[in-house]
Amino acid sequence: MCSSMLLLLIFALQICSAINGDVPRDSSLTEQSQKVPQDFFNKLLHKVIVGYNLDPLKINNYTTSSWWGLISVTTTFHNIAICGLSSVRRSGPNFIRADKNGTRMKVDLVTDKLTSTIYANVTTFILECSMKIILQAKSLRVRLELAEETPGELKVTSSEAKLDAVQIEIVKVGAHNILCKSAESMVETSITSILTTDFNTTLYQLIKHQVERLNHFVNQHTTVKL
């Protein structure tokens, strides 16, 4: 089976498993011809998010290093969760196509309010500070385009994301010490950078990684016969 057809098959199977036979039966469908496709797509998105337990979305722990004057500081972010992704819906054209030129995909989605909770432990040789970070965004919009530039290899050709009206709140957890004030400032600066200047780059790297995983899966199954 060619890689383009396999990509389409994977996409179709995802749709079939998410829909589970749930088709609108309203007799007035002809009067709602403009509304039904979008409602159907939005309902499908919701089923996929819920079906794959993506709301809340759990993020793996990660650790960063920085400096507090001449002292090395290690920050570990853990118990990261993002709530609100089940509100995702169509915001523009979304499609997947395959022809002699390969497979092409376009996604344009938006969410309602998102809330994220993150716990952070900041440590030096002798001091430690813990905090809870609460992030809120009015919405998130993502535009993404992928193309099969070489057979069996999808690539991200365009990606853009925007968080609207982001608010950051940091709450100290446990005892306070001289490290905490500086730690809160460092963490807030780091998160602000990630959500503004570095946001699109960070998202691109995350999406690129997932696309590479899909490419690997497809290439492993290109010898499958129908």
Residue 100 lies in a domain: yes
Q: List, as one string, the DSSP characters of 53-96.
A: T-SSEEE--EEEEEEETTEEEEEEEEEEEEE-GGG-EE-S--EE
- Rounded Cα distance between 8 and 98, Å, is 8
Residue 189 lies in a domain: yes
Host domain of residue 158: 3-22+31-220
- CATH code assigned at 52: 3.15.10
Residue 166 lies in a domain: yes
Q: Per-residue pLDDT tens, the chain, 226 aa: give them.
A: 344 444 444 444 444 444 444 444 444 444 444 455 567 778 888 887 888 788 888 888 989 888 877 888 899 999 999 999 899 898 888 888 888 888 888 889 999 999 999 999 999 888 889 999 999 999 999 998 989 888 878 888 998 988 999 999 999 887 777 878 888 888 888 888 888 888 888 888 878 887 887 788 777 766 554 4
pLDDT for residue 143 = 92
Residue 225 lies in a domain: no
Q: What is the DSSP letter of 177?
A: -
- Rounded Cα distance between 75 and 66, Å, is 8
pLDDT for residue 223 = 53
Sign of CA dihedral 204, 115, 92, 215: positive
- Rounded Cα distance between 8 and 214, Å, is 12
pLDDT for residue 4 = 44
How many domains does the chain fold into?
1
